[in-house]
Amino acid sequence: MPLALSKLRHITKAAPARGYLLGLVLASLSVATSLPAAAQGVTDCASDVQKLQVKRQAPIDKLTALNKAGQGKLDPVAACPLFRSLMASETQLLDYMVKNQSWCDVPEDAITNVRASRDKTKTIAAQACKVAADAIRAQKEGHAGMGGAPQQPRLPTGPL
C-alpha cells in the first residue's frame, strides 16, 4: 500500500481534483479488500433470508387465493397442506435466523416475531387439519355433513 499512497501524493500535488477522486477509489478498494469476509457474509445472509422469505410467501399466496375463491371461507381439506407448508417454511426461516444470529446480525425482535408467527401458524394448521380429517372421515363414511346420519336428498318444493 505505501507505493499506492506515494503515487497518490504525487498525483495530488499535480492535480488536486484528480488526486481526490483517485484517493476515493483507492480508499474504497482498500475497504473492500480488507473486509471481504464480512461483506460476503452479510450478502450471503441477505440472499439466504430472501430465498427463505420467497419460500414462505408461496403458501401464503395460495392460501390467499383459496380464501378469495371460497369468498372468505377456507376449504380445510385444501388449506391443511398449505398451512403445513407455511409452518415448515417459517420453521426453516426461524432456524436459519437463530443459527446465524450473530453472523448475520439478526435482531432479537426479528427472531421473536418469526417465532410468534410460526407458533400462530402451527395452531391454525392443527385446527385446519383436524377439521379436514373430520371432513374426510365423514365423506368416507358416506355422510354429507360432519354430524350423524346421512342426509336425504331434498325434493323440490313449490309449484310444479
Q: Is residue 13 part of a domain?
A: no
Question: pLDDT in tens for each of the 160 residues of the chain?
Answer: 333 333 333 333 443 433 333 333 333 333 333 334 444 555 688 999 999 999 999 999 999 999 999 888 888 899 999 999 999 999 999 999 999 999 999 999 999 999 999 999 999 999 999 999 998 888 888 754 445 555 555 655 556 5
SS3 state at 102: helix
Q: Is residue 149 part of a domain?
A: no
Which whole-number Å values give the CA distances from 81 to 11, 49, 77, 91, 146, in the listed order?
67, 23, 8, 15, 20
Question: Do residues 48 and 96 touch, judged by C-beta distance below 8 A?
Answer: yes
Q: Is residue 89 part of a domain?
A: yes
What is the predicted pLDDT for the residue at 138? 87
Residues in the chain: 160
Question: Do residues 4 and 25 touch, judged by C-beta distance below 8 A?
Answer: no
Q: Is residue 28 part of a domain?
A: no
Q: Is residue 3 part of a domain?
A: no
Nearest to 9 by CA among 1, 17, 18, 19: 19
CA distance 81 to 83: 5
Q: Is residue 84 part of a domain?
A: yes
Question: Do residues 96 and 49 touch, judged by C-beta distance below 8 A?
Answer: yes
What is the predicted pLDDT for the residue at 110? 93
Which whole-number Å values give the CA distances from 77 to 70, 72, 81, 82, in the listed order?
12, 15, 8, 10
Q: Is residue 31 part of a domain?
A: no
Tell me how many domains the chain contains: 1
**Full domain range(s) for residue 54:** 36-140
Q: Is residue 71 part of a domain?
A: yes
pTM score, whole prediction: 0.62
What is the predicted pLDDT for the residue at 140? 86
